[in-house]
């Protein structure tokens, strides 16, 4: 059942890619003159390690070129690693990609990561994402612990210096 579901997802994505190509054929005259406008940045996250998507990829690169969009293909180092893809996904999102096209290796996991992200906060020290325990929290648990230690150390130092 899982396999069937996945291949259905792939067909849907292929359909989207197909319509993108069709769109590209129709739209270029409108967009060609706007090359100097900010480029649209698209990230395509595949779930494989290799280029099993070569044909689709070539089509998309052609389309992106026509539209003056920036296209990035990201493959995984371990095929079908949901965890790795999740990481890439959030990184691309964070990196300001205008659109993400994903061939999900773990759809539910990706969903969860996305929903989760809304409740997450970015640590002002290390830039990592974490779930804050209070609205005032500024640091991730690791950095908060380090900050706490640093403050204690400072306090002790000041105390010893007789201040
Ligand atoms: Zn941190």
**Who wins on pLDDT, 124 or 134?**
124
**Closest to 123 measured CA to CA, from 101, 152, 105, 144:** 144
Ligand 1 centroid to residue 101 C-alpha, Å: 29
What does the alpha-carbon distance between residue 108 and residue 33 come to, in Å, rounded to a whole number?
Answer: 41
Residue 90 has a pLDDT of 84
Ligand 1 centroid to residue 124 C-alpha, Å: 7
| Every domain of the chain and the residues it spans | 39-118, 123-163
What does the alpha-carbon distance between residue 129 and residue 132 come to, in Å, rounded to a whole number?
Answer: 9
The β-bridge relationship of strands 99-102 and 129-130 is unpaired
Ligand 1 centroid to residue 78 C-alpha, Å: 27
Contacts of 67 (CB under 8 A, 6+ apart): 24, 27, 28, 31, 40
Query: Of how many residues is the chain composed?
Result: 163
Ligand 1 centroid to residue 149 C-alpha, Å: 14
Residue 6 has a pLDDT of 66
Residue 153 has a pLDDT of 96
Find which of 101-105, 134-138, 149-153, 158-162 is predicted with most confidence, using mean pLDDT.
149-153
Residue 121 has a pLDDT of 85
Residue 135 has a pLDDT of 81
Ligand 1 centroid to residue 68 C-alpha, Å: 37
Q: How confident is the model at residue 149 (pLDDT cuts 50, 70, 90)?
A: very high
Ligand 1 centroid to residue 162 C-alpha, Å: 32
Q: Which tens digit of pLDDT belongs to each residue from 5-60?
A: 667 677 666 766 666 665 555 555 555 555 555 688 889 988 888 767 788 888 88
Residue 16 has a pLDDT of 66
Contact (CB, 8 A) for 44 and 60? yes
**Closest to 21 measured CA to CA, from 45, 73, 57:** 57
Backbone φ and ψ of 38, nearest 5°? -55, 130
Mean of pLDDT values over 112-139:
83
What CATH class is the domain 39-118? alpha beta
Ligand 1 centroid to residue 123 C-alpha, Å: 5
Residue 37 has a pLDDT of 59
The packing angle between helices 82-94 and 107-118, to 10°, is: 40
Q: Which tens digit of pLDDT belongs to each residue from 59-112?
A: 889 988 888 899 988 888 888 888 888 888 888 888 888 888 888 888 888 887
**Closest to 98 measured CA to CA, from 22, 26, 39:** 39
């Amino acid at each position: 059942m899982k396999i069937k579901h996945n291949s259905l997802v792939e067909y849907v994505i292929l359909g989207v890619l197909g319509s993108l190509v069709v769109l590209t054929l129709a739209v270029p005259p409108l967009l060609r003159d706007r090359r100097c406008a900010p480029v649209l940045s698209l990230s395509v996250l595949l779930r494989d390690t290799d280029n099993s998507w070569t044909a689709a990829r070539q089509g998309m690169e052609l389309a992106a070129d026509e539209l003056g969009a920036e296209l990035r293909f990201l493959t995984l180092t371990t095929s079908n690693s949901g965890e790795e893809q999740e990481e890439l996904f959030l990184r691309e999102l964070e990196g300001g990609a205008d659109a993400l096209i994903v061939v999900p290796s773990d759809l539910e996991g990706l969903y969860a990561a996305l929903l989760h992200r809304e409740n997450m906060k970015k640590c002002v020290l290390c830039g990592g994402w974490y779930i804050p325990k209070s609205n005032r929290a500024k640091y991730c648990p690791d950095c908060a612990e380090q900050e706490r230690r640093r403050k204690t150390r400072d306090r002790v130092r000041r105390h010893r210096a007789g201040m």
